[in-house]
Amino acid sequence: MPLSLQLALAACGVSLLAACSPLILRGHTMQRIALSLLLAMAGLLAMSAGFSGLISGGGSITLPFGLPWLPLHAELDALGAFFMLVIGSLLFPVAVYSHGYFRNEQRITPLLVFMPLFALGMMGVVLAGDALAFMLFWELMSVSSYFLVTHEHQHLENRKAGFIYLLMAHMAGLLILGSFATLYAAAGSFEFAVMREASIEPFWASAAFLLAAFGFGTKAGVIPLHGWLPDAHPVAPSNVSALMSGIMLKVAVFGFIRVVWDLMGPGDFQWWWCALILAAGSSSAVGGVLLALQQHDLKRLLAYHSVENIGIILIGIGLAMLLAHFGHPMLAALGLIAGLYHTINHAIFKGLLFMGAGAVLHSTGTRDMESMGGLIHRMPVTAVFFLVAAISISALPPFNGFVSEWLTFQTALMAPQMGGALLMAIVPFSAAMLALAGALAAACFVKVFGVVFLGHARSKMAAQAQEVDGWMQAGMAIPAIFCLLLGVLPVLFIPLIDAVPQMLLHVSLADSVHAHGWLWLTPVSASQASYSSPLALTGMIIIGGLVFWWLHPKGRVIRRSRMWSCGNPHVNARMQYNATGFSQPLRRIFWGVLQPDEHVHVERRFHKLLTTKVRYTVHVGDLAVKHLYQPIGRLTLSIARWLNTQHQYGIHTNLTWTFVTVILLLALFA
C-alpha cells in the first residue's frame, strides 16, 4: 500500500478516534484538547496524504469491511489527493482555532462527536473507490453536518434551517444515487475502476450527467439549488461554518468532477452539458454576489459568497469541459487547473473569513453588521487576518484569489472559436460575468470590512469588544499565510495540481507554466500572457518603502484632531454609512433581479412639511425561494391536503382507491 494511502487512512482513523474520545474523556478541558489535537493531527495527515499522493501517486485497496458480497474499496488518485490536500489545509487551522473557540461552549460533547465524524465523512467521500462507499460517507457527511447545524437547537430558526438543509441534502443524495445507478446499469459493477472502463450510451450518459449535476449542484449551492445554504451556514458554530463552506461544498465539486470527468470522461461530453455548467456557473457567480451585497448578517453574507465562488469554480470547470469537448486538451487542462486552484483558494480564504466572523461574533455577540464598527481598534489582529481574506476573495493581487481568477480569464481569452453562435458568445459572456462578480465581490468586502472594522462603533457591544485568544489568532494566521503563499508562488503550486489534468486529460501543463522560471506564471506561453506575482510584490514593497522613507523625515508628527463634520457639532456613529446604505445603489440598479421589499414610513406632526421621524425598512428576499421553493412547498401541501380529504371519506372511498390501483397495476403489467 503506498504511503499516501496509508496517510489518508490514518487521517480517517484519527478522526474516528476523535469521535469516540468522549466515551473516555469527561472533563471539558480534556475534551476540548482531544478534539483540537486529534482534528489537527487528522488535518496534517490529510495534507501530507494529499502532497504525497500528488507527487508520488496513490493506489487502491479493498477494505476489510463492508457487506459480504460488496466489499468497500478505498482509492487515492491524483484527484482524490488534491481534495485531501484541500480538506487537510483547512481542517488543520480550524482545529487549532476550535481550541479557543470552544472555551466558553457549554455543551461540547455533541460537537466532539459530530465534528470528527463530519471530517471523516468528507475524507471518506474523497477516498471512496466504489459507489457504495461514496454514498455511505456522503450520507455520513450530510447527517453529521445536520447535527452540527442544529447544535444550538433551542432557537426555532436553527431547527428550521437544519430541517431545510437535511431535506435538500437528501434530495441531492437521491439524485446522486440515481446517477450512480445509471452508471451501474452501464458497467455492471459499483466499483469505480470498472465504471471507468465501461462505455455508456449518449442518452444514458446525459441522464447520469443531469442527475449528477443537479445532485452535486444542490450540495454545492449552485443557483437556484442554493436554498439551504444561506440559512444553514449562519446558524452553525463558526468553525463548523468554516468547514462546511470551505470544504463540504468542495467535496460536492469533487463528486461532480469524479462522476463527470473521471467515471464518464471527456469523450462522453456533449456541448450542451458544458453550456449548462457555464450558465450555472455564471448565474451563481453574479447572483450569489448580488444577494451577498444585500445582506447585513455577516455570516449569511459570507454564505452567499460561497454561492458566488462555487460559480467561479464552475466557470473554470465548464470552460475546461467545453475545450475538452472540442478537442483542445491543453487549454482544457488550463481551465481545470484554474477551477481547482480556485477550489483550494476558496477553501482557505472562506475558512479564514468564517473564522474571522466567528471571532467577531465571539467578541460582540452579534452577527448583525449594523451594530458593529470600529473593531479594528479593539481587535487589531483579527482585523489584519480578515483583511487578508477580504483582499483574497476580491481577487486582488498579490493574494491567491487573483491567481485563480486570472487563470480562468486566460482560459476564456485563449479559447478559440468553437461551435455555433451560442458557444461563440457564451465563453466571453461568462468571462464578463466573472469580471462583474469579482468586482462586485470587491465592493462587498469594502462594505464588510468598512462597516465591521472601520469607522465608529455602532453599539455598546462593539465598543467593548475584546481581542480573541492566541489559539484563535493562530488558527486564523495559518490560512492567512497560505493565502499569501498561494498568491505569490503559484508557479510552484501549479505543477502539483498538474497531476489532476494528467490523470483526466493525459496532458501536462507543467512545462509551459515553468517555461520562464519560477518568477513568471505563463499558462501557455510568455508571449500570450504572463503574471509575476513575486516581482509585482517586490516592486510594490520597494516603491512603497522608498516613498515612505522619503516622506517620513524625523520630527514630523501627525497631528490628531476631530474629524471634519461640515460644521455640524452633533455627529454621531449612526450617521455613518451602514451596510444597508452602502448597497443602496446596487439595490436600485439591480432592482429587477433583487425585487427588494422597501418601505419608507414618514411620521409628520402639525403640518405635512414638519417631519418628526423617518423610518426606512428593506427586506431583500431570495427570488429562488420566492418563485421556486415556496411554490413547490405549496404544491406539496395542497396535494397532501387533497389526499387528507380523500382519507376522510370513509372506508368506501379507500376501498375504491385500492381497487382502482389494483386495476391500474394489472393493466400496466399484464
Neighbours of 284 (CB within 10 A): 30
With CB under 8 A as the rule, give the number of residues binding other proteins: 87
447 binds other proteins (CB under 8 A): yes
* Cβ-based nearer residue to other proteins, 247 or 383: 383
Q: Given CA atoms 166, 171, 176, 177 in this order, what sign does their dihedral have?
A: positive
Binding mask 591-630 for other proteins (x = CB under 8 A): -x--------------------------------------
CA distance 366 to 364: 6
Residue from 380, 400, 377 nearest 389 by CA: 400
CB of 59 closer than 8 Å to CB of 78: no
Least Å distance between CB 292 and other proteins?
A: 13
Closer Cβ to other proteins, 145 or 309, answer by number: 309
CB-facing half-sphere around the CA of 463: CA atoms within 13 A: 6
Sign for the pseudo-dihedral over CA of 339, 343, 344, 350: positive
Tell whether residue 650 is a contact of other proteins (CB under 8 A). Answer: no
- Return the range that interacts with other proteins (CB under 8 A); candidates 180-188, 196-204, 472-480, 531-539: 531-539
**Residues 413-442 contacting other proteins, CB under 8 A:** 413-414, 417, 420-422, 424-425, 428-429, 431-433, 435-436, 438-440, 442
Per-position x/- string for 544-563, each x denoting binding to other proteins as judged by CB under 8 A, each - no binding = x--xx--x----x-xxxxxx
Minimum CB distance to other proteins, residue 572 (Å): 10
Question: Grid coordinates representing 383?
Answer: 482585523
Are residues 599 and 616 in contact, defined by beta-carbon separation less than 8 angstroms?
yes
Binding mask 378-417 for other proteins (x = CB under 8 A): ---------x---x--xxxx----x---x--xx-xxx--x
Span from 64-72, 265-273, 363-371, 534-542 in contact with other proteins (CB under 8 A): 534-542
**Using rule CB under 8 A, residue 583 touches other proteins:** yes
Name the one residue in this structure whose C-alpha cell is 433581479: 593
Is 425 or 614 the residue whose CB approaches other proteins more closely? 425
* Least distance (Å) between residue 58 CB and other proteins: 35
Instruction: Extract the C-alpha cell encoding 441.
Output: 465581490
CB 309 to other proteins: min, Å: 16
* Residue 512 makes contact with other proteins by CB under 8 A: no
Q: Is residue 304 involved in binding other proteins (CB under 8 A)?
A: no
Indicate the residue among 63 and 396 with the shorter CB distance to other proteins.
396
How near is the Cβ of 585 to other proteins at its closest, in Å?
4
Shortest distance, position 568 Cβ to other proteins, whole Å: 10
Task: Please state the closest distance from residue 618 (CB atom) to other proteins, in A.
Answer: 15
C-alpha cell at 338: 484554474
532 binds other proteins (CB under 8 A): yes
Binding of residue 570 to other proteins (CB under 8 A): no
DSSP secondary structure string for all residues of 380-393: HHHHHHHHHHHHHH
d(Cα 460, Cα 462) in Å, to the nearest integer?
5
Taking the C-alpha atoms of residue 382 and residue 364, their distance in angstroms, rounded to an integer, is: 13
Find out whether 445 and 393 touch, Cβ atoms under 8 Å: yes
CB of 28 to other proteins, least distance (A): 37
Cβ contact 530:516 at 8 Å? yes
Kindly identify the residues of this chain, within the stretch 448-477, that bind other proteins according to CB under 8 A: 449-451, 453-456
Q: Are strands 70-76 and 59-67 parallel, antiparallel or unpaired?
A: antiparallel
Using CB atoms within 10 A of its CB, is residue 213 exposed (0-12), middle (13-18) or buried (19+)? buried
Other CB atoms within a 10 A radius of the CB of residue 111 amount to 24
How many alpha carbons lie under 13 Å from residue 559 in its C-beta half-sphere? Answer: 2
Q: What angle do CA 511, 512, 514 make, to 5 degrees?
A: 65
Q: At its nearest, how many Å lie between other proteins and the CB of residue 322?
A: 16
By C-beta, is 425 or 663 nearer to other proteins?
A: 425
C-beta closer to other proteins: residue 149 or 307 = 307
Q: Which is nearer to other proteins, 574 or 634 (CB)?
A: 574
Find the distance separating the first CA and the last CA of the chain, reported in whole Å.
54
